[in-house]
Amino acid sequence: MISNSSIKVRIAPSPTGFLHIGTGQSALYNWLFAKKMGGKFYLRIEDTDRERSTKEYEESILGALRWLGLDWEGEVIRQSERTQLYRTALEKLLSEGKAFYCHHSQEELEAERQRQEFEKVPPRHECNHKDLPLGKEGGGIIRLNVGNSIQVISFEDQIKGHIEFKAGLLGDFSIARTVSDPLYNFAAVVDDAEMEISHVIRGEDHISNTPKQILVYEALGLPIPLFAHLPLILAPDRTKLSKRHGAMAVVDYKKDYLPQAIVNFLGGLGYTFSKDLLSREEMIAEFDLSKVHKSGAIFDTKKLNWINCQYIKRLSPEEFRTVSGIQEISDSAVPLVTERLEKLSDAQEFAYLWQEPVYEKELLNWKTSSPEEVKNSLTQTLAVIEELENITDEALRSDLDKLSTATGNKGLVFWPLRVALSGKDKSPDPVQLAVVLGKKETLKRVHKAIEMF
């Protein structure tokens, strides 16, 4: 891979909640792009909102990113630790008259907004007292001096193509509460510039923030990065994925899904790879930012489950024990479980593989066969197993088939045995169960079943 030090991207989550699945996808694409281009991928925590940001959420976000296998470059960058940077930039704009203190009250602003909506004109705030000397006590927030500009702001989105906005529609938008308390659109620009971010790859809900940020870059005299806006992941009702749609945090998926499944699913939701299942390396090799889709995709749990199934099936016994936390399961029992598992936590349904099952006697009955016939069948099966030196699939199967042929009722032989071994009406083939359980345990369970009559 060619190293390209000029390519720098970042993911900038705000620690006001767990890592959202959409942010996870955004992180993935940034990461893929950086790896593909030989660039660098950074993590910046946007914690300028002191009220809502917490250390716990930050920890959780870092953990989720690590779980997904999206490693970042160097130290985590926190906006709360870079106040001086913003202050310097803010004071510069203020002294140059490019920014000013707004003295309107929140009530006035609210009334203005409502009036504009009523008059069907663009909602914007243009101040009429920009020359007022600040007054740190009397002054309100700091706004960028945009005014009634006729400038057209345009940029070539790396995914969506040409996009343009009229600057005048933006108004004098807010950039900071105070010189040491910047707002998102300002802090993000200062940081991206300072970090020399070359490509800002983020969700398309940020498209409308882009013209504001471009104006800030221009006011500061800073080079403007390239932008790429990712389509949003949608809920089944085609609206933005949110809390009411259930699980939306990456950590919510940890107990049931393999990270590789999540990565493949998220990747495939906005990009067409050559196949459904591929390693991170293969994804990197195929990735091309300009080929990311333009329209949003619905989060389809069915597809995710299928991908998860495929990866679970490929798990080695050791890996399975690690991800499921089930240490008691034997090597030979693992394939029996992994072949029919959709979600990791469902593995508990196969607990009979490592502990004696508890079940109702009625479950042993096979269709119309009488209890006597069932008991008799189990007794014969018991005899067959006792004859075997140790249980092998081939030997036991052949013996049980003979038994079935004799009675002319295969179900009468296999069904009660399955229930005796698993305690369930659904399970892997009883012969396979017996092999996995071993002669001693199998005999014990069949005995127990017979004693129930």
Partner RNA sequence: GGCCCUAUCGUCUAACGGUUAGGACGGAUCCUUCUCAAGGAUUAAAUCGGGGUUCGAUUCCCCGUAGGGCUACCA
Residues in region 100-139 near RNA by CB under 7 A: 105-106, 109, 113, 116-117, 120-123, 125
State in angstroms the smallest separation of the CB of 413 from RNA.
8
Expressed in angstroms, the distance from the first to the final Cα of the chain is 69
Using DSSP's 3-state secondary structure scheme, residue 403 falls into helix
CB 233 within 8 A of CB 21: yes
Rounded Cα–Cα distance for residues 397 and 44 (Å): 60
By CB under 7 A, is residue 183 in contact with RNA?
A: yes
What the block records as the tokens of 229 is 């806006």
How crowded is residue 238: how many other Cβ atoms within 10 Å of its Cβ? 8
Candidates 343, 375, 410, 444; binder of RNA (CB under 7 A) is 410
Stretch that binds RNA, among 25-33, 56-64, 215-223, 262-270 (CB under 7 A): 262-270
What x/- string results for residues 347 through 386 when contact with RNA is judged by CB under 7 A?
----------------------------------------
Residues within window 9-28 making contact with RNA, judged by CB under 7 A: 12-14, 16
Closest CA relative to residue 338, chosen from 319, 354, 356: 319
Residues within window 267-286 making contact with RNA, judged by CB under 7 A: 268-270, 272, 276
Candidates 156, 339, 360, 393; binder of RNA (CB under 7 A) is 339
Q: Which is nearer to RNA, 70 or 420 (CB)?
A: 420
By CB under 7 A, is residue 91 in contact with RNA?
A: no
CB 343 within 8 A of CB 256: yes
What the block records as the tokens of 307 is 């991908």
Residues within window 289-328 making contact with RNA, judged by CB under 7 A: 293-298, 300, 302-303, 305-306, 309
* DSSP state string for 270-335: TS--SSSS--HHHHHHH--GGGS-SS-EE--HHHHHHHHHHHHHT--HHHHHHHH---S--GGGHH
Q: Which is nearer to RNA, 163 or 222 (CB)?
A: 163
Q: Which is nearer to RNA, 375 or 410 (CB)?
A: 410
Rounded Cα–Cα distance for residues 123 and 137 (Å): 28
Residues within window 149-168 making contact with RNA, judged by CB under 7 A: 160-166
Stretch that binds RNA, among 81-89, 91-99, 180-188, 214-222 (CB under 7 A): 180-188
State in angstroms the smallest separation of the CB of 2 from RNA.
26
Q: At what angle do helices 259-268 and 55-68 cross, to 10 degrees?
A: 90
Q: Which is nearer to RNA, 38 or 371 (CB)?
A: 371
State in angstroms the smallest separation of the CB of 205 from RNA.
3
Candidates 25, 26, 30, 48; binder of RNA (CB under 7 A) is 48
Rounded Cα–Cα distance for residues 372 and 395 (Å): 26
Using DSSP's 3-state secondary structure scheme, residue 220 falls into helix
